Structure 1
Amino acid sequence: MAGKENQSPHPLVPGPANGTYVRTGDDEAGRGGSRELRRQKRKKYLLYFVAFVIFQTGVILIFTMTIMKVRTPRFRVRSATFDAFNVSRQPNNRTFDISMNAQVGVKNANFGRYKYQGTTMTFLYRGSQVGEGVIQKSSVGWRSTKKFNVAVQLTSDNFTSDSQLAADLNANILRLTSQAELKGKVALTFIFNKKKSAKMNCTMDVFLTTEQLANISCD
């Protein structure tokens, strides 16, 4: 009885070397531990792979929503100076003839250069065109603003309402509107170009007594 009680549940079997013996239970336990270790490694590698996929997806989403998102450039009149300022308030000769240098800005908020074609900027007074200026073909660097001057000759020759002109000249304020459209492309990469047009629609006041441009407002 005592011999049976002391007998190990895992009998000895010949080992790989002559004269050595190992218990079968120990061998099975070793194989089970090895399988568990491999399973843990596979689980760890799977977690690493999932984390990498999530990270890459986040990077792609951020890249798409920020860098690759194409925004419409802003195009507006910023200020102006005057070379000649001729205004007549005579009852039979109410006119204005003004040489203006309008400073124009094109703001490009994209992560790529904006290349635009040449165009014409028109100035309106009470719905009638009173002047225009030529904008040359050019480009704006990524996330930057290009400023340049446009020479414009403002004249009342095409305006027919003498009473309205008389009232504005007496008030020493001319309310003008500037309109233009830039057509171009945003070059995000060497092969990816997106067409974008920037429209200008600004209102402004020319103060006749001080010869200044003020109250500029653009849509």
Structure 2
Amino acid sequence: MAKDMEELRESRLEEEEEDEVIKQNKKVRTPKFRIGNGITIHSLTAAAGNRSSPSFEVNFTAPVRIKNPNFGPYKHDAATVIFTYGGVEVGRATVPRGKAGFRSTGKVDVAITVSSKAMPRAAAAAAAAREVSSSGVLMLNGGGKLNGKVELMLFFRKKKYSTGMNCTMVIDVVLETVKSLSCL
């Protein structure tokens, strides 16, 4: 009888420990959606010499990272990342639908073209191109929203989560490299 009581106590302790682990894993954290290091610039044109139509155009590939800190996979829908210069949209990229495994980072390389030709007014595009050519740098902001679901292990319940991106990159026009990249 004493042995049975001791076994019962041990099994209850094990159950309590399992419950504690479940409580710790129960908290769902918001995944992170960022542009990663390793941007590859394929072509860059900044022409300010032509007064009638100054322009800039950059073609590059950017690694987009979806970091999932949860104990369950994060399945996300397709998303659009919008690139702006001076608050005006100059390009966009599509992040395809995908999945980041539990406690891992999903990686997607996206091709992007940003151009002053995408600016709505010709005068604004010309001013932007002159500024880029004279300063030697192109400052772009990239932003977007990623919607998805986290499926928690042990619970088999899904929670909808969306996460945002707000990144700023500075491109050196002369060297055709990314000087800095910061994401909030």
Match of 2:15 in 1: 56
1:168 aligns with 2:127: no
Match of 1:80 in 2: 39
1:216 aligns with 2:176: no
SS of 2:54's equivalent in the other structure is strand
Match of 2:146 in 1: 182
| Mapped partners of 2:94, 2:127: distance in 1 | 31
| Mapped partners of 2:85, 2:44: distance in 1 | 16
| Mapped partners of 2:22, 2:160: distance in 1 | 19
Match of 1:203 in 2: 168
| Mapped partners of 1:164, 1:98: distance in 2 | 14
SS of 1:123's equivalent in the other structure is strand
Distance 1:168 1:84, change over 3 A: closer
| Mapped partners of 1:142, 1:197: distance in 2 | 16
Identity fraction in percent:
29
Cα RMSD after superposing both structures: 2.4
Q: CA deviation at 1:162?
A: 4.3
| Mapped partners of 1:139, 1:214: distance in 2 | 30
Distance 1:136 1:164, change over 3 A: closer
Aligned residues: 177
1:151 aligns with 2:116: no
- Give the residue type in structure 1 aligned to 2:152: L
Select the residue among 137, 146, 158 that pairs with 2:97: 137
* Residue correspondence of structure 1 range 105-116 to structure 2 within 5 A: 105-116=65-76
| Mapped partners of 1:126, 1:213: distance in 2 | 18
TM-score, normalised via structure 1 length: 0.72
| Mapped partners of 1:109, 1:76: distance in 2 | 14
TM-score, normalised via structure 2 length: 0.84
Q: CA deviation at 1:203?
A: 0.7
| Mapped partners of 1:171, 1:84: distance in 2 | 19
1:119 aligns with 2:83: no
- Give the residue type in structure 2 aligned to 1:74: K
Q: Would the aligned equivalents of 2:63 and 2:108 in 1 still touch at CA under 8 Å?
A: yes
Unaligned segments of structure 2, at least 5 residues = none
| Mapped partners of 2:134, 2:41: distance in 1 | 20
Unaligned segments of structure 1, at least 5 residues = 1-37
| Mapped partners of 2:183, 2:94: distance in 1 | 19
